[in-house]
Structures are given as C-alpha cells and as structure tokens.
Structure 1
Amino acid sequence: MNVVPRILALNPNSSESVTQSVVHAMRCAMPERMAEIVGVTCSDGPEGIVTQADFEDARHRVGARVVGNFLGAYDAAVIACFSDPGLEAVRSQCAIPVIGMGEAGMRCALQAGERVGVVAVADAAIPRHLAYWERIGIGHRVVGERALNISVAASGDHVQAFERMLAAGRTLRDKLHADAILLGCAGMSALRGQLESALDVPVIDPCAAAIVAAIDAVNGKAKP
C-alpha cells in the first residue's frame, strides 16, 4: 500500500465536470493527508448513466478500465456512478477493494434513518435502482424514489436542479415518510448541504460515503 492510500474515482460517463464534482466532494469528506484521490473520466462513455443501455455500456467500460489499466496503481477504486455499473464483476477480478457509490451511499443513509428516500436524476433510472436495492437485501428500507428528470451534468447546478431537488425531497419526506434522503447521482454533491438545511432531515452524498468506505476498506476496518 502507498504511504497515503491512492484511490481511483472512475466516472463511467463522459462528463469531466461530473468527475471534478465527485473528486471535490470526496476531498471535502476526506482530507488529502488521508488519501490521494485521482479522478478518471471515461471520455468515450455515455453522457450520463440513465437508461439500461447506458448502464450496460458503462458496465463493460468499467471492467475494461479498472481490470485492464489501473490495478497496480491504486489501493482502492470507487465506481463513481450511483448505479454501480460493473461492480460485482470488477470486485471478483480485483485484489484491491472496489467500492460502489450507490451501495456505499445507501448503507450510510440506512445508518442515518430508518426509511430512506432517493432523489434520482431521471425516471428511467428508478426501476434499475429499486431492483438493485432488492438484490442487495435492503429494499424494505427504501420508501421510494423521485426524479429530477434533468441531465447528469445539470444535476448539481443550483439554477437548474435545486427547486426540483427540493420538491422531490419534500415528497419523499412528507408523503412517503422518509427520515433520510440519499442523493441518487454523483453530480448532485454540491447541493447536499443546502438541501439538508431546507428539508431538516439527513441528506447523504454518495461521493462522501464512497470515499469513507474506500479508506475504511484499505485500512481493514470494513470489507467492501
């Protein structure tokens, strides 16, 4: 292991701005003296991981990038996409810890509340998310998801996203009785604090949750 753990944050979509947002959120959650975080963008990937076709595209790219190019250079890898494309396959082929951002975010949210609601980027992503929660055994704790229906790149922009995010959060809190909210896209991190203040319930950023999980895994405190 490197003296300071070196963590790969691999963004399966082609948005460099999303990669920068992810790395910034991770660095805010984890001081640089505790980890070196390197963001890598799949420049030939889809613009966002929204549809099932996007997910399948990303799943193949993640496997090729992590297993083919990065294994010897990092102490852990984070798949910087809420849908965790390729997570199981990459974990089975890697000796280093591989963290799924969606899984890490949800497990953090389940510690913050009993009933978790998710703010998704688009309606098209919700069935895949719900199936994922069921598959990893936590679907009974997820009260539902509500979507912004904007692009991944716009999901962290205050002007374009915040009012939609607030409306989704209020629906999850007031109508579905969520007592914790999970941001369902890597691009939403910049709005977490403002949303939490407006809703007065815990709002979990999956980027921050993922880097904490990665460092814990490297240090042997938890298994990914």
Structure 2
Amino acid sequence: MYLPLWVINPNSNAAVTAGIDSALGPLRMAGGPPINCLTLTEGPAAVQSQQDLAQVTPMLGRLISEHQANAGAFVIGCFSDPALALLREISRRPVFGIGECAVLDALSRGQRFGVIAMQGSVLGRHLRTYGAMGVLQRFAGERAVELSMTQLADPHATLQRMLQVGRQLRDDDQADVLIMGCAGMAAYRQALERELHVPVIEPCQAAAAMALGRILLNGEGA
C-alpha cells in the first residue's frame, strides 16, 4: 500500500482546491497512491504578490512537517511555486512545484511554450523563474486574462477570455504548446485543447503525474 500524495493549495479558496481535486481524478487508480488535496485555510485568498509568497512560506513549512510521516510526496498547487527550495530542504519526501513541472512537461510536448496567466502583475516573477530554469530560449510569451479569482467563477466568460489569450499566444507569439498559469484554471484544459488544437498543460496534473511516478518507482509504502 502506497503512502499518499498530498497536493496543497496555498490559498484559502476552497473552490480552487475542489477544482484541483477534480482535475486530478484521472490520475487516481485502484491500488495506486491516494491523492489528498488540502487547503491552506489561513493563507491569502489568492497568491498573487511577493508579499503573499512570503506570507505562505512558514505556513507551508509547518504543514509539510506535520504530514511528512504519512506522505509519499508533496505538490504545491500554486504556479509561482512558493517556498519550493525551502520546502525541498526541510522535507524528507519529494516536493514538486506545479509551475516548474508544467514548464518541464511543456518542453516535452512542443518547441515554444506560452503561458496563460491570471494577472499581468505576475509576469516579472514568472520571468525570473523561467530564467532560473534556463528555458527562456523556448519561451514564446505570457499573456494574462486579467480576471480575479471571483471572476473565474463565471465559466463561460472565463473560457472565452482564455480562448482569446490562447489564440494570441498561438498565432501572434508562435507558441505550439500552452500552459495554464494558475491552479484555478484547472477545469478548462480539455476545452482549450479542443478549440485551439495545440497541447495544453494543466500544471497540477503535470506535477501530480511526476510525483506519482516518483512514489511508484520508489515503492513508497506505508
């Protein structure tokens, strides 16, 4: 019996956690590692700024420390990968960031990746991450839907805006694979892929798939 994968949403929005949990449904298998999704209830409503990242860092550290004895691996469900290096340092189990994993997955699916972000204010922070990963030569661009977490609750408007931005990344920026740059977008991957005719990476799925592979290969049993 395998130890579970813990997927942590570092904001306090339970609807985002529910979306992540639903998106990971296809990765749940009989006899495989359980997938448990957690909400950081004391976290901010959305992790959108450097201050938000700093706020959730000690909270994530405590949560991972509390669950290490019953964990095969952890996934941090925020595209900015808050505290990823620190969490890897303190955890005895593998820790995956959905932003990093989404980029790695995209590089295996196409030559140039584009990112559909929620807010333009995150671009500078994301660019620093892509630079640190050494992948800027294969980065086509990042464009924001400019929707709040509340506005994301309107599925029709959200999908239309994501399709608009996705077409710009595909046609104007020549991206041949797209990444959804926010865990709150999880429900739209299949519709985007169907309409835009390019691979679309959902970052929580990308990270969870890598984490499950690690648990299975390591034989992380209880």
- Same fold, TM-score > 0.5, yes or no: yes
Matched, 1:140 2:137: yes
Contact 2:3-2:70 at 8 Å conserved across structures: no
Matches within 5 A, 1:1-224: 3-31=1-29, 33-67=31-65, 69-152=66-149, 154-155=151-152, 157-220=154-217
Taking a change above 3 Å as real, the CA distance of residues 99 and 23 of structure 1, as seen in their structure-2 partners, is same
Q: TM-score, normalised by structure 1?
A: 0.92
AA of the residue aligned to 1:94: S
Contact 1:183-1:204 at 8 Å conserved across structures: yes
How big is each residue's C-alpha offset from its partner over 1:31-61, in whole Å with a ceiling of 9 and x where there is no partner? Answer: 3542211111111111111122112212232
Taking a change above 3 Å as real, the CA distance of residues 155 and 31 of structure 1, as seen in their structure-2 partners, is farther
Report how far residue 156 of structure 1 moved.
Answer: 6.3
Q: Which runs of 5+ in 1 are unaligned?
A: none
Report how far residue 136 of structure 1 moved.
Answer: 1.7
- Aligned identity (percent) is 35
In 1, Cα distance between the equivalents of 2:201 and 2:126? Answer: 16
Q: Between Structure 1 and Structure 2, how many residues are aligned?
A: 218
AA of the residue aligned to 1:173: R
How big is each residue's C-alpha offset from its partner over 1:96-136, in whole Å with a ceiling of 9 and x where there is no partner? Answer: 11111111111111111100000001111111111101112
After superposition, the CA RMSD in angstroms is 1.5
**Which secondary structure does the structure 2 equivalent of 1:152 belong to?**
coil
Contact 1:17-1:153 at 8 Å conserved across structures: no
In 1, Cα distance between the equivalents of 2:182 and 2:154? Answer: 12
Give 4+ residue runs of structure 1 displaced > 4 Å after superposition. none
How big is each residue's C-alpha offset from its partner over 1:143-172, in whole Å with a ceiling of 9 and x where there is no partner? Answer: 111111112354364223111101110110
Q: Which runs of 5+ in 2 are unaligned?
A: none
In 1, Cα distance between the equivalents of 2:147 and 2:20? Answer: 18
Q: TM-score, normalised by structure 2?
A: 0.93
**Which secondary structure does the structure 2 equivalent of 1:112 belong to?**
coil
